[in-house]
Structures are given as structure tokens and as C-alpha cells.
Amino acid sequence: MTDALTSATPGSPVSFEVSTNVPTTHGLFEMRAYRDLVTSAEHVAVIAKTPDGRAPADGALVRVHSECLTGEAFGSLKCECGPQLDAALDTIAAEGGVVVYLRGHEGRGIGLINKLKAYRLQEDGLDTLDANLALGLPADSREYGGAAGILADLGITRVRLLSNNPEKRRQLVEHGITVDSLVPLVVGISAQNAGYLDTKRDRMGHTLPSHLDTGAA
């Protein structure tokens, strides 16, 4: 693990910038900031020690989480991103692990304005995938090389991935990270996002239940 301020391992897709301890409503975390040398995005590794006080190592529980301003800051019910982030932080606070928070991934990589344009098309009946395509944009353009580089900097080459998305697993493995298992993260389901989650399951291959309990009476 790199400890100096601002350094890059030769061949790494990220450069380490700074580490600091941050108390949060979820617990006390070490936050390590990285710059993506491919996209120039700024990413953060949120790290919680294990109950015995050790730093996460191989086999750690890891969440690779894409930035979602609408869901995390504004509480949008059109997705489950905010509850997923909260649940991941609570889980690593209790068990130890890492949340790799990837900026520049808004709207599966299309950006905030295009994401809101896609939302508008969804009001006319398109699903989340077709709305992106109707804008002439990829259904999902996210790339996880930066996440793999961050994990490698932390000395973690094998993880239990807290995710429902097999594509994250595939890309991490492609970038040299062994994924022992996908640990389900099924939270934040509501009547407002049930169709969105159906599309993720049926058209994008996410491992979600065939029946989603929205909590509606």
C-alpha cells in the first residue's frame, strides 16, 4: 500500500493522492483519494478495518460503487443507488472491507445531464436501457480498470464482491482481480424503481430476484 502523498506505481491506471481518516454516520473510515490516469476522474477508496483491527486484505468484502448524484444526494427513487451505498458502508463498518467509489460513472457513464434526458424519455415509456440508446449513447459505458488499480494499490488481489452485476466481476477479473463470489446487495426496492430493476435483471444480466417486493400493499 502506498503511504506517501501523491504517487503512482508504474503501469497503474491510477495515482494515489492522499489518505485521511473521516468520521461518518456509518463509522470511522480511512479515505484514500486517487486520480484516474485514463479518465482524469477522482475516485475514493473508503476503508474500514476488520473487527480485530486489521486492514482489509485478500478475500476482503469489497463494493465497487458508481457515483449517482440523483440517488445519493437527492434521494431519487428511480434507482436503488443511495440505499446500496448506505448498506455497503454499514456492512464494511461492521465487518471490515472497502468501498471503491468511482466518480465519472453517473448514469452508467453518460453523465448527469444525459441521465436526466434519459429520465425524461422514461416518462414517455422507454426503459432505462432503451432511453440511453435513444440518445445515441451506450447502454453502459462504465470501465473498472481504475477500481482494479485501486485494489492493487491496497494490496488486495482477491475479493468478495458486494454486487448484483456480473459485468463488474468480469471486468475486475479481466484486470487481474480474483472475485471469489458475488455477495448480493438487494436493497432500496420500491414501486418507483421496480421497472428499472426488472430491466437490469432481464436485459442487463443482474442477479436480482424474479419477483421484487416493492413493499406495496
Q: Which cell numbers hold the place of 48?
A: 474500514
**168 annotated as ligand-binding:** yes
**64 annotated as ligand-binding:** yes
**107 annotated as ligand-binding:** yes
Q: State whether residue 174 is helix, strand or coil.
A: helix
* Amino acid occupying residue 82: G
Q: Which residue has the cell 486489521?
A: 54
**DSSP 8-state secondary structure symbol assigned to residue 7:** B
Distance CA 34, CA 27 (A): 21
**104 annotated as ligand-binding:** no
**65 annotated as ligand-binding:** yes
Our answer to whether residue 201 is catalytic in this structure is no
Tell me the HSE value of 153 on the side-chain side, using a 13 A CA sphere: 33
**68 annotated as ligand-binding:** yes
Pick the catalytic residue from 32, 36, 127, 140.
140
CB 70 within 8 A of CB 78: yes
Our answer to whether residue 90 is catalytic in this structure is no
**17 annotated as ligand-binding:** no
Distance CA 38, CA 122 (A): 31
Pick the catalytic residue from 32, 127, 142, 153.
142
**44 annotated as ligand-binding:** no
**66 annotated as ligand-binding:** yes
Which residues line the annotated binding site for GTP?
Answer: 63-67, 84, 106-108, 128, 163, 168
Binding residues for Zn(2+): 68, 79, 81
Active site residues: 140, 142
Q: Which residues are annotated as a binding site?
A: 63-68, 79, 81, 84, 106-108, 128, 163, 168
